[in-house]
Amino acid sequence: MQKETVLVTGGTGFIAQYCMIALLEAGYHVRTTVRSLSREGEVRAYLKTGGVDAGPNLSFVQADLTRDAGWADACSGCAFVMHGASPTPSGDQTREEDWINPAVEGNLRVLRAAKAAGVRRVVLTSAFGAVGVGHGNIGRPFNETDWTNLSGRIWPYQKSKTLSERVAWDYIARDGIGLELSAINPVAVLGPALGPDFSHSIRLIKNLLEGQGGCPKINSGFVDVRDVADLHLRAMTNPAAAGERFLAISGESLWMIDVARILRQHLGQAAHCVPRREVPNWVIRLAALRKPGLKGIATLLGKNMNASSDKAKQLLGWSPRPAENAIIATAESLIRLGLVN
């Protein structure tokens, strides 16, 4: 029996590409959106690096989160949508609205087009940034009932993820009759890079390998992108996932100095530049006064970001690999692809 067609938005994205790999391996036909069709060859090459020659089972539609054009065609004939296209920390954003408007408006465009096309379920790629930011240390792992505190000290990226997920749930409650929604909220996503265009979380590992000047006292959960894609697939197909959000984290959160230690323990000489010392918080805060890019980091200093993925494990049978494995796989891929200076 021929499998159905699934739309994966933002086909140049790291998580999206692994979602496409998982879907193609499971026998689905995949359609993906890109802002420019000139990037089709690049996306196909990345998937091939990931072990899949998509051939005719993958098609492309040009669509942009800031415009209506293309979204009706993208959703037409699709049974499911995995929607992950969203602004990420690229350095191009200069105002808060550069983050928030495309994320919020983009979610509404995709949901409206999906409903009009008769799509059964949308799986939204949200983020831990919509769950656990803007709080103090709450004394327990974050879970799916938590939402980021928008009145706290938060980065525009985290605000955009929170508002865009909120608006998606509001749309479903108000206008989404017949359309189901599930949300995946991953922590920092690692795993094998497919090429030089990788996630901002992988840059953490790249910076450590290249000898950044010490480790800030930052705590983060980690998860392998292959497990994130697997969770998307489970949320797409399991009836129990409708109307639910799922945190994706592998084990306990780690401090940056712990990540550095793991790299040195497993990579030998390849990790000779990895820092061994932790940078005092006051140094980061002082540097953030001169470098606006550090302001987001400064808001997270010393905060425990541990979270629980028990819901995904118990409800969907999700079983992620250890965070240590994801860290090592990330570093090894960066070295193998010649992406470490």
Mean pLDDT on 229-247: 98
Q: Which residue has the tokens 């992108």?
A: 225
> What pLDDT digit, counting tens, does each position of 272-290 carry?
999 999 999 888 888 888 8
pLDDT of residue 325: 97
Q: Give the strand pairing for 254-255 and 219-220.
A: antiparallel
The pair of structure tokens assigned to 188 is 């920092």
Per-residue pLDDT band for 297 (boundaries 50, 70, 90) equals confident
> What pLDDT digit, counting tens, does each position of 52-72 carry?
999 999 999 999 998 999 999
Report domain extents, the chain: 5-199+221-251+306-320
Strands annotated E in the chain: 5-8, 29-34, 58-62, 80-83, 121-125, 180-186, 188-190, 215-216, 219-220, 222-224, 245-248, 254-255, 278-279
Domain 5-199+221-251+306-320 fold is Rossmann fold (3.40.50)
Count of Cβ atoms closer than 10 Å to residue 321 Cβ:
15
pTM higher than the cut 0.75: yes
Radius of gyration from C-alpha coordinates of the chain: 19
Neighbour-count burial of 282, counting CB atoms closer than 10 A to its CB (0-12 exposed, 13-18 middle, 19+ buried): exposed
Can you name the residues that pair with 325 across neighbouring β-strands?
none
Q: Are the C-beta atoms of 227 and 250 separated by less than 8 Å?
A: yes
Is 89's pLDDT higher than 60?
no
Tally helices (H) and strands (E) across the chain: 12, 13
> What pLDDT digit, counting tens, does each position of 175-184 carry?
989 999 999 9
Mean pLDDT on 137-161: 90
